[in-house]
Structure 1
Amino acid sequence: MTLSIGERAEALIAELGISSPSELDIEAIAFDSQVEVVYEKMSGCEATLVGFRDRAIATINPSGVRGRERFSVAHELGHWHLHRGRSFACRVDDPSANLASDRHFEKEADTFASHLLLPRMLFNPAVAAYGAPTFQQITRIANEFETSITATALRLVSVNTLPVIVACYDRKGKRWAIPAADIPRRWVLKDKVDEDSYTFDMLHSGKECAGLFKQPADVWFQNNDAGKYELREQCIPSFDGGALVLLYLESPMLSAGFDWNVNRRYNEHGSYVTRRSTAR
Structure 2
Amino acid sequence: MPSTIQTPEQILADLGIREPEDLEIEAIAEYCGATIRYKPLYGCEARIIGYHDRAIITINSSSPRSRQRFSGGHELGHWMRDRGQIAFKCDYQSYVRGWWASNPETCANRFASDVLLPLGMFQPRARGLHVTFETVRKLADTFMTSLTSTAIRLVEHGGLPSMLVCNTPQKKEWFVASPEVSGRLWPLARPKQGSSASSLLSTTREAKGPIDVRCDNWINHPRADHYWIKEDSLSLRDGTVLSLLWWEDEQQLLDLDEYEERMGSRRSDGRTDWE
Which range, TM-score by smaller chain?
A: 0.7 to 0.9
| Distance change in 2, residues 1:53/1:172 (3 Å) | closer
Query: Percent same amino acid at aligned positions?
Result: 32
Letter in 1 for 2:179: A
Q: Which runs of 4+ in 1 moved over 4 A?
A: none
**Rounded Cα–Cα distance in structure 2 between residues aligned with 1:161 and 1:8:** 24
Q: Following TM superposition, by how much is the alpha carbon of 1:142 offset from its aligned partner in structure 2, in angstroms? A: 0.5
Q: Following TM superposition, by how much is the alpha carbon of 1:98 offset from its aligned partner in structure 2, in angstroms? A: 1.3
| Distance change in 2, residues 1:86/1:158 (3 Å) | farther
CA-based RMSD = 2.6
Contact 2:136 2:150 (C-alpha < 8 Å) held by counterparts: yes
Aligned counterpart, 2:95: 95
Counterparts of 1:181-220 in structure 2 under 5 Å? 181-204=179-202, 206-210=205-209, 212-220=210-218
Mark the runs of 5 or more structure 1 residues left unpaired by the alignment.
262-270, 273-280
Aligned counterpart, 1:180: 178
Contact 2:97 2:166 (C-alpha < 8 Å) held by counterparts: no
Larger deviation, residues 181-190 vs 66-75:
181-190
Contact 1:160 1:182 (C-alpha < 8 Å) held by counterparts: no
**Rounded Cα–Cα distance in structure 2 between residues aligned with 1:96 and 1:89:** 17
Letter in 1 for 2:223: D
**Rounded Cα–Cα distance in structure 1 between residues aligned with 2:57 and 2:168:** 33
SS in 1 for 2:98: helix
Contact 1:168 1:176 (C-alpha < 8 Å) held by counterparts: yes
TM-score (norm. length: structure 2): 0.82
Say whether residues 1:245 and 2:266 are aligned partners.
no
Q: Deviations over 1:250-269 (max 9, x none)?
A: 423433234999xxxxxxxx
Contact 1:208 1:236 (C-alpha < 8 Å) held by counterparts: yes
SS in 2 for 1:95: helix
| Distance change in 2, residues 1:103/1:40 (3 Å) | farther
Aligned counterpart, 2:163: 165
Q: Following TM superposition, by how much is the alpha carbon of 1:116 offset from its aligned partner in structure 2, in angstroms? A: 0.4
Say whether residues 1:65 and 2:32 are aligned partners.
no
**Rounded Cα–Cα distance in structure 1 between residues aligned with 2:110 and 2:139:** 18
Q: How many residues align?
A: 255
Q: Deviations over 1:112-149 (max 9, x none)?
A: 10010000111112212x62242112111111111111
SS in 1 for 2:208: coil
SS in 1 for 2:230: strand
